[in-house]
Amino acid sequence: MIRAIFLFAVLGIGLYVGTQYSGQQGYVLISIASKTIEMSVTTLILLVIALLAILFGIEFLIKKALRISSSTWHWFGSRKLKQSRRNTNEGIVKLIEGDWKQAEKKVTRLAKNHDMPLLCYLIASEAALEQGNKEKRDQYLALAARQDNATLAVELTKARQYTKEQRFEDALNVLNELSIQHPDNPVVVSLLKNTYHHLHQWEPLLGLLPQLRKQKLAEEEEITQLEVESRSHLLAQAAAIRGKETLTEYWKDLPKRLKSIPEMLTCYVQLLLKYQGDQEAFALLKDQIKKHPNLANYTLLPELRLESYQPVMKLLHDVIRRDEQNAEAHSALGHIYAQDGKLPLAQGHLEKALQIRNSISDYQQLAQILEQQNMSQAAHDVSKKALSLIEPSS
């Protein structure tokens, strides 16, 4: 536009000057080597204007051609980008469908033309791993690591794949580094939870539970289960140091809410039985049966090694007087009488327990008692009943 205005201005000035000095056009002589060119001033001005117009026209045509060329290249580049995105989307679908080979082929075909090749290489690494080709998996991860801002995504992918391969030590090495740089990353925290659990690293797992609860990365039931499992193993480790002494010290330091959980109490009682703490175990079981009776409390009573079982029997008889249909109390009493050699009493209580509910261990104990009393046919019938309970689950 500016050039056009300039040309019209020059032309206008030329016309004005030409009219003012008409009849006085002047004289121009151009000598080049042995050649001379003669013309009037007006003619020279017109030639200059024409030359400028030609130059501006050539410039316009060149720019137009370059603009067309640039648009053409841009169109081809945009077409490849769209094709790459389409292939990547299809590859993700194939990965979900389990067609690993096609997924790998789709995402790598035009990965270099994608505006986020990192995504392509990470998906390709997953597809290669599912095909069992760890060498190609590592190659894709190396290509992914070369992309901008790829560290977190690549390392998380490595950790996730290591856990899938049961390479928990390798996963832990990666996650320990990530936890320093990204301590609140939910994927890092979740992967650490699984890794700690598989490696039986109970102390670090306990330390991770508040974060799981705060970020709502696990249900409260799962968190409680993890806490009970971790504490139970640490309780056993404490007992292995100096026996009952360290066991009871560790138990005293536990939060009250944990001590009231049946699984935790069962673990503690079993450890007391293992480390000659039968008297303490009985006192604890007796208190719990009175306050919070449950199946595990009763089944542990016959395992006690006491000088006299009279307090245990009295406890169970008191329970039965309050609740004649308490099958677990009848069962425990039957097993204790069997150990004491009082077979008819043992038989009666076991039969009463089995009238209320089925129990393979009670059937087995009853069959032995009947056999000891020379009731072979009855023992055989009871054994068959026990087998009928086992067969459906086998």
Alpha carbon distance 252, 257 (integer Å): 12
pLDDT digit string (tens) for 142-163? 999 999 889 999 999 999 999 9
Alpha carbon distance 325, 60 (integer Å): 104
Beta carbons of 209 and 226 less than 8 angstroms apart: yes
| 3-state percent helix, strand, coil for the chain, nearest multiple of 5 | 80, 5, 20
Residue 356 has a pLDDT of 92
| pLDDT beyond 90 at 176 | yes
pLDDT digit string (tens) for 78-128? 667 678 788 888 888 888 888 989 988 888 887 787 778 888 889 999 999
Alpha carbon distance 229, 111 (integer Å): 46
Mean pLDDT, residues 242-269 taken together: 88
| pLDDT beyond 70 at 29 | no
- 3-class secondary structure, 23: coil
Task: Give me the CATH topology for the region 308-394.
Answer: 1.25.40
- 3-class secondary structure, 309: coil
| pLDDT beyond 80 at 22 | no
Query: pLDDT exceeding 90 applies to what percent of the chain?
Result: 46
Alpha carbon distance 203, 226 (integer Å): 11
Residue 18 has a pLDDT of 57
Mean pLDDT, residues 233-246 taken together: 89
Residue scoring higher pLDDT (155 or 296): 155
pLDDT band at 369 (very low <50, low <70, confident <90, very high): very high
31-40, 55-64, 189-198, 358-367 — which is least confidently predicted?
A: 31-40
Mean pLDDT, residues 321-325 taken together: 91
Q: Where are the domains of the chain?
A: 1-14+38-148, 308-394
Per-residue tokens: 22: 């008409």
φ, ψ of residue 28 to 5 degrees: the values are: -125, 130
| pLDDT beyond 60 at 393 | no
| pLDDT beyond 70 at 77 | no
φ, ψ of residue 32 to 5 degrees: the values are: -125, 110
Residue 287 has a pLDDT of 87
Predicted TM-score (pTM) above 0.95: no
Alpha carbon distance 263, 221 (integer Å): 13
Kindly report the average pLDDT of the chain as a whole number: 85
- 3-class secondary structure, 277: coil
Per-residue tokens: 149: 């801002």
Per-residue tokens: 153: 């995504």
φ, ψ of residue 261 to 5 degrees: the values are: -80, 125
Q: In sequence order, which residues have a C-beta less than 8 Å from that of residue 89 and are 6 or more positions away? A: none
